[in-house]
């Protein structure tokens, strides 16, 4: 006589996203971990820009050192006391000459701090859309939900009661 476990047969199931795409048939890799990472970009950081100085003033300084051409990348960050500008030029030599010329340069009663630094790219987070189970482990607002998870501790757990506490609770119940 055969047991129930030996007759049970599980078919191999291909996920729907793998069945319906050509990537799996062509051998293309869906995993982005194998993609080579870009080297860090060299950019110039101007720190301690006074709040009274406009973006256009800083852009004019950059353009003057770059033969009146726009930078490849420019971004301004505002802080409570000062501002910071990060930019990138196509010519690395002009970036170095900008640093030499404008480091410790006085602008509106403040000294600018200028340096070249390497800006690393943020690592990509795995995207959950289209992946197995992405619909089922998300709540309405796109956040993971704890319902149905194994091993998640219940936050409202009470510490175990002592024997004396249990006896007192039982006595109070019996008297009422």
Single out the residue of 91, 3, 7, 98 nearest to residue 44, CA to CA.
98
pLDDT at position 27 is: 61
Q: Which residue has the higher pLDDT, 140 or 94?
A: 94
With a cut of 90, say whether residue 111 has pLDDT above it: yes
Q: Which residue has the higher pLDDT, 18 or 105?
A: 105
What Rg value do the Cα atoms of the chain yield, rounded?
Answer: 31
Averaged pLDDT of the chain? 77
pLDDT at position 121 is: 79
Asked if residue 62 is part of any domain, the answer here is yes
Residue 148's Cβ-count burial label (10 Å; 0-12, 13-18, 19+) is: exposed
pLDDT at position 152 is: 54
pLDDT at position 114 is: 94
With a cut of 70, say whether residue 65 has pLDDT above it: yes
Asked if residue 125 is part of any domain, the answer here is no
Cα dihedral 11, 14, 20, 24, rounded to 10, equals -130
Asked if residue 107 is part of any domain, the answer here is yes
Q: Which long-range contacts (CB under 8 A, 24 or more apart) does 68-74 make?
A: 73/41, 73/43
Asked if residue 6 is part of any domain, the answer here is no
Total structural domains within the chain:
1
- Give residue 80's domain range: 41-119
pLDDT at position 115 is: 94
Asked if residue 86 is part of any domain, the answer here is yes
Taking only the tens place, the pLDDT of each residue in 10-62 is: 666 666 666 666 665 666 555 555 667 778 889 999 999 999 999 999 999 99
Asked if residue 63 is part of any domain, the answer here is yes
Q: Distance between CA 25 and CA 108 in Å, rounded?
A: 63
Asked if residue 110 is part of any domain, the answer here is yes
Asked if residue 83 is part of any domain, the answer here is yes
CATH number at residue 104: 3.30.70.330
Single out the residue of 140, 125, 135, 147 nearest to residue 15, CA to CA.
135
The answer to whether the beta carbons of residues 74 and 87 sit under 8 Å apart is yes
């Amino acid at each position: 006589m055969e047991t129930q476990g030996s007759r049970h047969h599980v078919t191999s199931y291909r996920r729907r996203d793998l069945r319906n795409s050509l990537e799996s048939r062509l051998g293309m890799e869906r995993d982005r971990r194998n993609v080579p990472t870009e080297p860090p970009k060299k950019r110039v950081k101007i720190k301690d820009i006074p709040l009274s100085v406009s973006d256009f003033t800083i852009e004019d300084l950059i353009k003057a050192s770059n033969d009146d051409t726009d930078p490849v990348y420019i971004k301004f960050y505002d802080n409570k006391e000062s501002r910071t500008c990060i930019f990138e030029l196509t010519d690395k030599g002009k970036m170095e000459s900008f640093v030499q010329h404008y480091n410790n340069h006085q602008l509106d009663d403040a000294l600018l701090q200028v340096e070249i630094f390497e800006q690393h790219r943020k690592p990509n987070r795995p995207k959950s859309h289209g992946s197995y189970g992405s619909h089922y482990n998300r709540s309405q607002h796109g956040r993971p939900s704890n319902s149905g998870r194994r091993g998640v501790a219940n936050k409202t757990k009470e510490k175990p009661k002592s024997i004396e506490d249990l006896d007192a609770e039982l006595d109070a119940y019996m008297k009422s």
